[in-house]
Structure 1
Amino acid sequence: MTSRSELVEHELEILYLVSNVLNSSVDLHSKLNNILEILHVDFHMLSGMITLRTTENDSLSICEVYSTDVDKSVRYQIGEGLVGAILDAGSTIVVERLADEPRFISRLGLYNSELSFIGAPILVDKTEVVGVLTIQPHNKEFLGEKARFLEMVANLIAQSVKTLHINERKQQDLLDERDNLRQALVKNYRFENIIGHSEPMLKVFDIIRQVSKWNTTVLIRGESGTGKEVVANSIHFNSSCSQGTFVKLNCAALPDNLLESELFGHEKGAFTGAINQRKGRFELADNGTIFLDEIGEISASFQAKLLRILQEGEFERVGGTKTITVNVRIVAATNRNLEQDVADGLFREDLYYRLNVMPINMPALRDRLEDIPDLADFLLKRLSKQQGGRPLVLKESALRIYMKYSWPGNVRELENRLERAAIMSNNGVIDRDVVISTGLDDGSVMSPTPQHTIKVDFHDENLDEREKVIAALEQTGWVQAKAARLLNMTPRQIAYRIQTLEINVKQM
């Protein structure tokens, strides 16, 4: 017979072993399984089982059990059997002979009904029951002491479970944040959120809708500032690749050696400074989309390396020999005349045809001037947020100047000029005078395409008097007498208005 002092000494040895297991780097399930093995082999506590509380339906599910023939899909509800009773009461239960316990329901066929039973709650912060540890001592000696020992083991387990739950919550928070960001991106890049209702843009929308259905390589063409990256985002987030990563790289920003490392990655020691292995953009974009901007700027030597991944979907890291295969949707963009570059021997013809499977031609802003009011409204709202929610208003007199400009810098230039005008406007009202103060006026370079004018309703009560006078003057070529007739005024009256409203008269 074991003495009480021998039992205590043995318990201390077991607690030391359990602590070492819990401090190891293995996952929680392995830790719990190892603890049950220690209790069985070293302490002769049989039929060990650890159940953990589920958050979905507040039941207990079997996490680990020291047996190979147990159905782990069994769930214990609060108050159901001995395990459910421990969950309900949050306190230890000791049964001297299991066959005499009416709450024992033997759902698992695990326990010997002739032996004793001890079940201890796994408590976090001394109050929250997160699980139950159950065991069968091989004899009835010192059941009270063994119960207290099992409570100590359960308390040690509780700290690991708590850490697991904290990590799970953090992981879930990160997943939720990722999903929220992805939903926001999808919302931002829906087709209807790309600004424009002009005929050229409607054609672009039709092509985006079609190419988004398939994993086709897309080549977006157009001048700088026309919104090629916005279209690339839209293609990705409206395609079957949308759950994958969207990775982008400006090919013109890096020399060949850095470009190769960026796209394909490198092995440790591949070159000076390569202190660790590094994945490239193609690996990061696996099962997603890679956007290669300024694709026409890459050198002839690098074009051959890029052609291989377009053809085969495989590559090696810089300094490596292992072939890596990826499944990546490629969207490229350029403002160059690739056909001329092919003719001049600057761009490989085979690479050109690999890229130009589905071209999308982005119209210049001068070819869709009717989109400027909507674009300006969208950009001003974004500027307003950047300036702390400051209200910004674009007057029609300012808009008419914007509608007559040729916009060599396209939408990017429009955004820059609007920001400049917002800064120059003390009260947030951008009118003709503010636009002129930024260096743009009616004498600016005119668009070679037919002009898009804004029709002004001179009876519109929402249009202030200054705007009406300026609109009338612009419509009549700044001939005051003609403008007066449009406004039902005399020449003297309109001259007085021009003076009192401080309108800078344009000399024709």
Structure 2
Amino acid sequence: MADVRAANRLMGNSDGRLARATRVRADIALRGIFEISKFLVTPDRLETKLANVLTLLSSFLDMHHGIVALVDEQGNPHMVVGIGWREEQAAAYFGRLPERAVGQIVATKMPVVIENVATNPLFRGWQAAEPLPPGVTRRSFLGVPIKDRDRVIGTLTIEQLWREEMPYHAVDEDVRFLTMVANLLGQTVRLMEIVGRDRERLMAEQTRLEKELSDRPRAGGAEPGARGIVGRSPALLAVLDKIKIAARSHSTVLLRGESGTGKELFARATHDFSPRRSGPFVKLNCGALPESVLESELFGHEKGAFTGAVNQRKGRFELADGGTLFLDEIGEISPAFQVKLLRVLQEGEFERVGGTRTIKVNVRLVCATNRNLEEAVAKGEFRADLYYRICVISIQLPPLRARREDIPLLAEEFLRRFDEEHETRHDLQPSAFAILDRCYFPGNVRELENCIRRTASLSRAACITDDDFACRHDECLSATLWKGAIDTSFNIVTPQIPRPLPAAPASPPPAQASPPAEMDGGDFDKIGREQLVQAMERSGWVQARAARLLKLTPRQIGYALRKHGIEVKKF
């Protein structure tokens, strides 16, 4: 009976020691989790955080080696951190661990506990990097999965060395502690990945915004949202004001103006100012394509619709669904294709080339032309019903001669772009601006840009002066092309040769000048200076032609010029 009581006392003492040891390990684990969580919230690199966690674990556990390995979706390690090791050493040690042991952690998503690796089948044939120190009887292996929700993204493994005299403790407590640490690591890795993705997204957005800002004019910007449009002249600002008002609706806009006035930029501004600004902006030059190709480009085609149609392809109308479609040179499309385009504008639906399925789209149309469509309709070259469909809101774009105040700003902007593209540095001198101010630029903004690029390319010095321009050496091809030409499509003034002319004061009218005998004084009084200048410009400054426009005689035109003090331009 006494032996039984003694045995019970021994068992009670053993249970008491085990309970006390369990409470101690639980307290250690609680303090360890608290300390580790403080490291995980610091703004350090992930590798630094993982190394600090392992260092803390070594102070809370009887740990010989510790490894945190993060793996990709194929199970290959992409980050390995060990306590007191460089990444290469830690990766080498992790690579020596039995693949069966690590693979079991990843495959089962459960902890693996091996109290003696020397007798466990998972470690059969495995040799440790160093032999057991004297007095150590066994080597243990503990591994737990690091998970992001239900997906294993890594492992936390430790080695423990045991001596016979070491006090007993429950391995389950160590596994529970490691599992909690692994959960914290999984949440940290996931949070840092989210932060990293957000950072990349913000950087991409910042890059996009910086590019937008760089695309906007750096000097004389007309309006935020009018990308690439440079200037602050009254004519330009008036057009932008109309575009801002027109952009609020979904009505079709027809941009009219001479070639080179920047119709695509104004079309883009119409889109950017509209409620559809977040949608796509799709553009197509109708004048550059034959009818068969144009139909495929606008409506798309099905596979096998024609030779070379190896795949199904969406057209520009589908690509612009929910946004804006810009059709440049709309006046150049054939009468047959005008009928097809009219149906899309009326019904908002079409079929792909070679297809039968009707496709509905919601597209805001912006068209542009440099032709006189009213004259084309009168001649039967353009369908009247299509004209009324596209000419809902008509906006006339000003030629460069109507916004001469913008020439210096445009010239500086084009020179800046040239220097940025070629990594050079140029400056326009006052004499250069004087030359540009005298030039007519019948090709408008496009011709001005070409002039600046040509001059900057051939300039021998960084400072561009009047002598660097081709017109100073009778080499301006534009002047030769436009000399004596007359174009009244949009009241285009016949340009003068862009050559610096000596400033000659206007001839004052004779002191006793009086109307010629054949002039009707009442009709003459109705001819104002502005009307007279306009007639002279339309006629290329040929007095006989201007007389016919105003239904006067050449002598009357000559007298009117002297009366108003208008200098006759020479070509």
Into which bin does the TM-score normalised by the smaller protein fall? 0.5 to 0.7
- The residue number in structure 2 matching 1:223 is 258
Corresponding position: 1:320 with 2:355: yes
Q: Secondary structure at the match of 1:359?
A: strand
- How far residue 245 of structure 1 moved from its aligned partner, in angstroms, is 1.5
Counterpart selection for 1:419 from 441, 453, 471: 453
Counterpart selection for 1:238 from 255, 273, 281: 273
Corresponding position: 1:404 with 2:438: yes
- CA displacement, residues 278-320 of structure 1 (integer Å, 9 cap, x when unaligned): 1111111111211111011111111111112222221111111
- The residue number in structure 2 matching 1:107 is none
Q: Distance in 1 between matches of 2:473 and 2:289?
A: 38
Q: Secondary structure at the match of 1:309?
A: helix
Counterpart selection for 1:184 from 203, 207, 211: 211
Write the letter of the residue equivalent to 2:445: V
> Unpaired segments of 5 or more residues in structure 1?
1-57, 59-76, 79-87, 91-120, 452-470, 478-507
Q: Distance in 2 between matches of 1:172 and 1:319?
A: 46
Cα separation, partners in 2 of 1:245 and 1:127, compared to 1, 3 Å = farther
- The residue number in structure 2 matching 1:158 is 153
Counterpart selection for 2:462 from 414, 428, 435: 428
Corresponding position: 1:437 with 2:473: yes
Cα separation, partners in 2 of 1:214 and 1:175, compared to 1, 3 Å = farther
Is contact 1:207–1:360 with CA below 8 Å preserved after alignment? yes
Q: Distance in 2 between matches of 1:280 and 1:407?
A: 37
Write the letter of the residue equivalent to 1:293: D
- The residue number in structure 2 matching 1:364 is 399
Q: Distance in 1 between matches of 2:423 and 2:213?
A: 25
Q: Distance in 1 between matches of 2:146 and 2:413?
A: 63
Is contact 1:219–1:355 with CA below 8 Å preserved after alignment? yes
- The residue number in structure 2 matching 1:345 is 380
Q: CA RMSD in A?
A: 4.8
Counterpart selection for 1:376 from 395, 408, 411: 411
- The residue number in structure 2 matching 1:250 is 285
- CA displacement, residues 94-129 of structure 1 (integer Å, 9 cap, x when unaligned): xxxxxxxxxxxxxxxxxxxxxxxxxxx99443559x
Cα separation, partners in 2 of 1:183 and 1:431, compared to 1, 3 Å = closer
- The residue number in structure 1 matching 2:424 is 389
Q: Distance in 2 between matches of 1:249 and 1:352?
A: 19
Cα separation, partners in 2 of 1:391 and 1:450, compared to 1, 3 Å = closer
- How far residue 270 of structure 1 moved from its aligned partner, in angstroms, is 0.9
Cα separation, partners in 2 of 1:301 and 1:476, compared to 1, 3 Å = closer
Q: Secondary structure at the match of 1:203?
A: helix
- CA displacement, residues 484-506 of structure 1 (integer Å, 9 cap, x when unaligned): xxxxxxxxxxxxxxxxxxxxxxx
- The residue number in structure 1 matching 2:563 is none
Write the letter of the residue equivalent to 1:396: P
Counterpart selection for 2:300 from 262, 265, 269: 265
Is contact 1:191–1:234 with CA below 8 Å preserved after alignment? no
Q: Distance in 2 between matches of 1:256 and 1:167?
A: 50
Q: Distance in 2 between matches of 1:277 and 1:179?
A: 36
Is contact 1:218–1:358 with CA below 8 Å preserved after alignment? yes
Is contact 2:146–2:153 with CA below 8 Å preserved after alignment? no
Cα separation, partners in 2 of 1:170 and 1:294, compared to 1, 3 Å = farther
Q: Distance in 2 between matches of 1:434 and 1:152?
A: 70
Cα separation, partners in 2 of 1:439 and 1:156, compared to 1, 3 Å = same
Is contact 1:292–1:332 with CA below 8 Å preserved after alignment? yes
**Between the two proteins, what is the percent identity of the paired residues?**
46
TM-score of the two chains, using structure 1 as the length reference: 0.56
Is contact 1:316–1:323 with CA below 8 Å preserved after alignment? yes
- CA displacement, residues 443-495 of structure 1 (integer Å, 9 cap, x when unaligned): 996996999xxxxxxxxxxxxxxxxxxx9x95567xxxxxxxxxxxxxxxxxx
Is contact 1:420–1:438 with CA below 8 Å preserved after alignment? no
Q: Secondary structure at the match of 1:368?
A: helix
Larger radius of gyration: 2
- The residue number in structure 1 matching 2:25 is none
- How far residue 264 of structure 1 moved from its aligned partner, in angstroms, is 1.0
- How far residue 222 of structure 1 moved from its aligned partner, in angstroms, is 0.4
Q: Distance in 2 between matches of 1:281 and 1:299?
A: 18
Write the letter of the residue equivalent to 2:287: A
Cα separation, partners in 2 of 1:344 and 1:385, compared to 1, 3 Å = same
Counterpart selection for 2:367 from 301, 307, 332: 332
Write the letter of the residue equivalent to 1:158: I
Write the letter of the residue equivalent to 2:475: G
Q: Distance in 1 between matches of 2:314 and 2:109?
A: 52
Q: Distance in 1 between matches of 2:463 and 2:405?
A: 22
Cα separation, partners in 2 of 1:186 and 1:314, compared to 1, 3 Å = farther
Please list, as runs of the form range in 1=range in 2, the aligned pairs for 1:36-47 lying within 5 A after superposition.
none
Q: Distance in 2 between matches of 1:260 and 1:182?
A: 35
Write the letter of the residue equivalent to 1:424: L
Cα separation, partners in 2 of 1:318 and 1:230, compared to 1, 3 Å = same
Q: Distance in 1 between matches of 2:329 and 2:109?
A: 71
Cα separation, partners in 2 of 1:156 and 1:199, compared to 1, 3 Å = closer
- The residue number in structure 2 matching 1:197 is 232
Q: Secondary structure at the match of 2:153?
A: helix
Write the letter of the residue equivalent to 2:204: E
Cα separation, partners in 2 of 1:372 and 1:127, compared to 1, 3 Å = same
Q: Distance in 2 between matches of 1:188 and 1:437?
A: 34
Write the letter of the residue equivalent to 1:437: H
- The residue number in structure 2 matching 1:307 is 342
Write the letter of the residue equivalent to 2:450: N
Is contact 2:109–2:152 with CA below 8 Å preserved after alignment? no
Is contact 2:106–2:152 with CA below 8 Å preserved after alignment? no
Is contact 1:250–1:293 with CA below 8 Å preserved after alignment? yes
Q: Distance in 1 between matches of 2:385 and 2:412?
A: 43
Is contact 1:226–1:364 with CA below 8 Å preserved after alignment? yes
- The residue number in structure 1 matching 2:247 is 212
Q: Distance in 2 between matches of 1:218 and 1:303?
A: 17
- CA displacement, residues 307-346 of structure 1 (integer Å, 9 cap, x when unaligned): 1222222111111111112222211110011111111111
Q: Secondary structure at the match of 1:177?
A: helix
Is contact 2:442–2:495 with CA below 8 Å preserved after alignment? no
Cα separation, partners in 2 of 1:314 and 1:150, compared to 1, 3 Å = farther
Cα separation, partners in 2 of 1:475 and 1:357, compared to 1, 3 Å = same
Q: Distance in 2 between matches of 1:183 and 1:309?
A: 38
Q: Distance in 2 between matches of 1:136 and 1:433?
A: 79
Write the letter of the residue equivalent to 1:439: E
Cα separation, partners in 2 of 1:425 and 1:188, compared to 1, 3 Å = closer
